[in-house]
Structure 1
Amino acid sequence: MSFIEHSSLSALNDSRYDWTISVRAQAIWQGINKQTKEFRGLNVVFIDDENHRIHAFIAATLTDKFKKDLEEGALYEISNFSVKFYKGDETYRAVRSGKHIYFNTDTLCSKVVDTCLKIQPLSFDLYCLDDVYALKKDNRFLIDVVGVVDAKPTKIEYTKDGINGSIVKFTVTDGKSYLNVTFFNAFGDTLLEAFEQKKEEPVIIIIASGKISEWNDEVSLANYPATRFYLNNNHHCVKRIRTSLAESTFYQIDFIEEAEDEVPKFNVKELLSLKDEYIEVNL
């Protein structure tokens, strides 16, 4: 590789476009207009050696130039791109960042076999399962979680408006809370196929970029085009849970002891001297 100065993802801003970054493509998915089914372009989540992540967008008119070389997990050197800040009204973002990358006609994207920078295979912004319930009204972001699959996923087939579909439902726990998960159609089938290949029990799943949904007052996590899952991955968060399970410290509930209000003590003389205001408020 040539001696080119590489910027970290955290340093990017919209003051210039001649940036160069060294990154790994963690997730790649198509952007499809939900109403018209029109292909809008390609979306990518990139990570760097500092475990920072950023979303990148490649418009439909440019995808032919880049799509043949884009591969999840591969390393890239990318130069000459635009950086834009979110306006604030965008929904279901895969990365909790205030900015994202836009490829343009001058952008260069080269796959590299190796890099002097150590870029992890995966990076997540993990939330406790309790947080999912608090975020159910916030549709700005997708969410990453990790947990133990509480029971083997089950498939339910259905017909709606003459169209056949299916859902795969299961529950995950982080030892303190439980969360229902629903994967739809082909994505759910992919999960079932992956489960057949996993021998280590219990299965620990990382769900990246899951969509929080609520139906009939039930909060659950569903799949979205950006969603990925990883079973028994080598990520440190999975190792930590596996160790906790082995040490029987996983299923624990933290109780916050509330201090009892101390009952005030008075003698007869003090009671007789109390003012009406104190009696009304404190007794």
Structure 2
Amino acid sequence: MSATNYDSVQALGTCSYNYKIRVRVIRLWRGATRTGEEFKNFNVILLDSKIYRIHAFIPTSRAEELAQVLKLGKNYKIRNFTVQLYKPTDKFRCLRNDRQIVFTKDTYVQEIAEDEVNIPLDYFDFYGHNQLEELSNQKTYLTDVIGIVKKHDKFRDLENRHGQKQKQSKLVYVNNCNQIFLGRSNVNITFCDAFGIKFENAMKEAVETPNKVLTHMRIKAVDDTTNWCYSACTGCRKEIKQENSVHVSEACNTLVPCPEIKYRISVLAEDNTDDVHIILGDKEVRTLIMKKARNLFKEVNKKF
């Protein structure tokens, strides 16, 4: 079925029920009561190939079934759902959108392969730290904070003005990851109780886990003596071998009649200190040239 048979998330209205969309699940979560008990229903954020997002609500009646189907990062065909406008009184929306999808008993969901549709892995809206005060003065939309921890006080116990015991974590964030466009600025943050405990545990795990290094480099040359792509299993995604004209995945012990084609390119890169040989994987090459390996493979074969 061609892409023209599917609806854009941007075009979804409240007057129809027979919409069909192809989307990626980029967020998935459950709400909770004040005591921390999770609801059975859950929520997802869906992203389509035109980079439009929408929040979808899965009610309790479908939650158990669809929790086994909908997975973070996967692509799906979805049809037969309702679209509802938010009420003016609805607070803490996760997207700047005036509508949401609600799954029904007739909503159909089917996972699709990564190469069947070209949907980005994620999408964000960014604001400067100097806009936080304005964002904090409204309750219509939720706000996340991204930055680098500049200062972190010890987790401590305290008693609030109502005489209740609480736990508190204070820190200072700095947004120097994008200071050219947004201007470097600090923001004070306080996490309390269960969320503060979760943050503290994440901080400890980050300290115990080896750090990843981010660097800016320029690609000088591509090694044309090695293959620029390889065949991968459509199930486990691992590299497969060809035995007697048959593709076999040793990782999951299966035959693969139509393997995926993925990039693996060896390049020589440099910064202002030295040169280094780097292997660019499928995700990195697709990001650079905006083209899937299978499509490029077909183009190359046509020329010869």
SS at match of 2:10: helix
Q: Which whole-Å CA distance do the structure 1 matches of 2:132 and 2:186 have between them?
A: 10
Q: What residue in structure 2 maps to residue 59 of structure 1?
A: 59
Percent identity, please.
27
User: Per the alignment, do residues 193 and 182 of structure 1 end up closer, same or farther by CA in structure 2, a change over 3 Å counting?
Assistant: farther
Q: 1:35-89: per-residue Cα shift (whole Å, max 9, x none)?
A: 7947251011111112211111011121012001122111111111110111121
Q: What residue in structure 2 maps to residue 269 of structure 1?
A: none
Following TM superposition, by how much is the alpha carbon of 1:186 offset from its aligned partner in structure 2, in angstroms?
2.0
Q: What residue in structure 1 maps to residue 262 of structure 2?
A: none
Larger-gyration structure (1/2): 1
Contact 1:77 1:111 in 2 (8 A): yes
Contact 2:22 2:78 in 1 (8 A): yes
User: Per the alignment, do residues 112 and 165 of structure 1 end up closer, same or farther by CA in structure 2, a change over 3 Å counting?
Assistant: farther
Pairwise mapping of residues 4-43 of structure 1 onto structure 2 (< 5 A)? 5-34=5-34, 37=37, 39=39, 41-43=41-43
Q: Structure 2 counterpart of 1:186, which letter?
A: K
After TM superposition, the score normalised by the length of structure 1 is 0.62
Q: Which whole-Å CA distance do the structure 2 matches of 1:53 and 1:11 have between them?
A: 11
SS at match of 1:135: helix
Of 140, 150, 175 in structure 2, the residue corresponding to residue 173 of structure 1 is 175
Contact 2:25 2:73 in 1 (8 A): yes
Gaps of 5+ in 2: 216-270, 272-304
Q: 1:9-36: per-residue Cα shift (whole Å, max 9, x none)?
A: 1111111111111111111111224379
Q: What residue in structure 1 maps to residue 205 of structure 2?
A: 193
Following TM superposition, by how much is the alpha carbon of 1:144 offset from its aligned partner in structure 2, in angstroms?
4.2
User: Per the alignment, do residues 145 and 7 of structure 1 end up closer, same or farther by CA in structure 2, a change over 3 Å counting?
Assistant: farther
Contact 1:32 1:41 in 2 (8 A): no
Q: Which whole-Å CA distance do the structure 2 matches of 1:52 and 1:194 have between them?
A: 32
Pairwise mapping of residues 74-223 of structure 1 onto structure 2 (< 5 A)? 74-151=74-151, 153=152, 155-158=154-157, 165=167, 167=169, 169-174=171-176, 175=179, 176=183, 177-183=185-191, 184-197=196-209, 199-200=211-212
Contact 1:149 1:173 in 2 (8 A): no
Q: Which whole-Å CA distance do the structure 2 matches of 1:169 and 1:87 have between them?
A: 35
Higher relative contact order (CA 8 A, sep 6+): 1
SS at match of 2:116: coil
Q: Which whole-Å CA distance do the structure 2 matches of 1:195 and 1:122 have between them?
A: 26
User: Per the alignment, do residues 81 and 64 of structure 1 end up closer, same or farther by CA in structure 2, a change over 3 Å counting?
Assistant: same
Q: Which whole-Å CA distance do the structure 2 matches of 1:191 and 1:56 have between them?
A: 31
SS at match of 1:54: strand
Contact 1:148 1:202 in 2 (8 A): no
Gaps of 5+ in 1: 204-242, 244-283
SS at match of 1:39: coil
Contact 1:156 1:168 in 2 (8 A): yes
Q: In the comparison of the two structures, how many residue pairs are matched? A: 202
Q: Which whole-Å CA distance do the structure 2 matches of 1:180 and 1:201 have between them?
A: 26
Contact 1:41 1:59 in 2 (8 A): yes
Q: Structure 2 counterpart of 1:171, which letter?
A: Y
Q: Which whole-Å CA distance do the structure 1 matches of 2:128 and 2:95 have between them?
A: 17
Q: Which whole-Å CA distance do the structure 2 matches of 1:188 and 1:21 have between them?
A: 39
Q: Structure 1 counterpart of 2:70, which letter?
A: L
Q: Which whole-Å CA distance do the structure 1 matches of 2:61 and 2:14 have between them?
A: 22
Q: Which whole-Å CA distance do the structure 2 matches of 1:193 and 1:131 have between them?
A: 30
Q: Which whole-Å CA distance do the structure 2 matches of 1:163 and 1:74 have between them?
A: 42
Contact 1:25 1:74 in 2 (8 A): yes
Q: Structure 2 counterpart of 1:53, which letter?
A: R
Q: Which whole-Å CA distance do the structure 1 matches of 2:77 and 2:207 have between them?
A: 35
Q: Which whole-Å CA distance do the structure 2 matches of 1:128 and 1:199 have between them?
A: 26
- How well do the aligned residues superpose, as a CA RMSD in angstroms? 3.0
Q: Which whole-Å CA distance do the structure 2 matches of 1:39 and 1:200 have between them?
A: 35
